[in-house]
Amino acid sequence: MTTVSLDHTAALTNSAFRTTAARRGHSARTPSAERLAHLRHRATTVDALGDGLVAMMHRLKGEGRELFTRACQDGIDSIENPPEELVAFFRAVERTPAWVDQQRLRRGAEAISRGGKLAAFTLCDVYLVVGFHSLRVCKTLTSTGQTGKATSRRVLNTASWWLDVSTPGSLVRGGVGYAAALRVRLVHAHIRDVLLRRGDWDLAAWDQPLNDAQANQLTLMFSLGVMEATQVLGIRYTAQERADILHLWRYVGWLVGIQEDMLPADEAEAWQHLWEQAATELIPDEDSRTLAADLRAAYQRPRPDQSALRARWAERVHTAISRIVIGPASADSLGMPDDPTARALVRVAGALNTLAELTYRRIPAFRTAQAVHGHAARKAYVEVLRAAHGDGAGGGKP
């Protein structure tokens, strides 16, 4: 397994991640030999239940997809004589782990919603950019055509999916977030099936496509990553909000099919998992730089609500946020330009937002109102992306 030292430029050195972790008492520790061996094992394991669904759909064609959709909405017991692969999948999914707390899921979603448009705006600045650091993840993207102008659709699909799973109350059985998580699990299994059937996937160099070790990035970047990006722009989370956001993404990760030993139970584990990713997966190559350039180009294409000048400025701000969160060395490894003016603008905006939040949060019920209005702003932002990049149909991939 390719690994790097945590002092390597690809390992998020001088990043906002490091600063926040240190401030919260979580030092960056290189994984032990035993843990590295376990991660190597997880790089060879995948979601067998999801793969079984794909085999069922090959056999049943359109009927298999319809049965899956019905089971997402109404449960496996609503289907008469379901295929055994569908039964195995949904019996497992419907055995909700004892640690899942619906109240904490709702609180976590409300805390995410407080970020409003700022959270939606920064979403891909960390989630996608950190993913681009992984040469193995990049091979999956480049092998499935997720390059060039397809990047714009991926930004939309990511934002739409994130909105669905982090909508308060959406993760109950049959809810929109619950169904979205299971759909993306199926999409991942389909991609894995396509790549392995083609015969040109290099298992020795790239591991299993979308394996359990790589999948851990999903929960880490949607939790720690988005919190870090919104914090750069002035949002502040209480310790309880942070814990509830991590709890939400632990459950989403479980629904997506990630093994429980790869899902952090608390913030200390989340930071350690991030350092493990830095040491074992976040190793960029030329594909990484190509995908990062594609993302910047996607930001530069004006949306219906933007002029060309605003779009160019938006790209500069997006890139500045990425550089602050992942660190200058990591950003340089992806060929992301440094723009001191944009960085200064981000810092000033963050300071002003922090001042406003620290002032108004003292007002009773402010956080509740902020969550309600923030969720509406998130929805509006996704609708703008949809108008610019299409309806996202057929994607579903975060």
Task: Give dist(CA 291, CA 76) in Å, integer.
Answer: 39
From the number of C-beta atoms within 10 Å of its C-beta (0-12, 13-18, 19+), residue 23 rates as: exposed
> What is residue 7's predicted lDDT score, i.e. its pLDDT?
52
> What is residue 392's predicted lDDT score, i.e. its pLDDT?
45
> What is residue 388's predicted lDDT score, i.e. its pLDDT?
81
Could you say which DSSP state residue 87 is in? H
Per-residue pLDDT of the chain (398 residues; tens, 9 = 90+): 455 455 554 568 789 998 999 999 998 777 888 998 999 999 999 999 999 999 999 999 889 999 999 999 999 999 999 999 999 999 999 999 999 999 999 999 999 999 999 999 999 999 999 999 998 999 999 999 888 889 999 999 999 999 999 999 999 999 999 999 999 999 999 999 999 999 899 999 999 999 998 888 899 999 999 999 999 999 999 999 999 999 999 999 999 999 999 999 999 999 999 998 888 888 889 999 999 999 999 999 888 878 999 999 999 999 999 999 999 999 999 999 999 999 999 999 999 999 888 877 777 678 788 889 999 999 999 999 988 876 544 445 56
Q: What is the pTM of this model?
A: 0.93
> What is residue 63's predicted lDDT score, i.e. its pLDDT?
94
H or E stretch including 103? helix 102-114
Report how many helices (DSSP H) and strands (DSSP E) the chain contains, helices first: 20, 0
> What is residue 2's predicted lDDT score, i.e. its pLDDT?
54
> What is residue 3's predicted lDDT score, i.e. its pLDDT?
53
CA 263 → CA 153, 159, 215, 273, distances in Å?
28, 22, 10, 8
From the number of C-beta atoms within 10 Å of its C-beta (0-12, 13-18, 19+), residue 128 rates as: buried
> What is residue 391's predicted lDDT score, i.e. its pLDDT?
55
Tell which residue, 222, 63, 40, has the closest CA to residue 130: 222
> What is residue 61's predicted lDDT score, i.e. its pLDDT?
86
Task: Give dist(CA 96, CA 173) in Å, integer.
Answer: 10
Task: Give dist(CA 63, CA 44) in Å, integer.
Answer: 31
Residue type, 214: Q
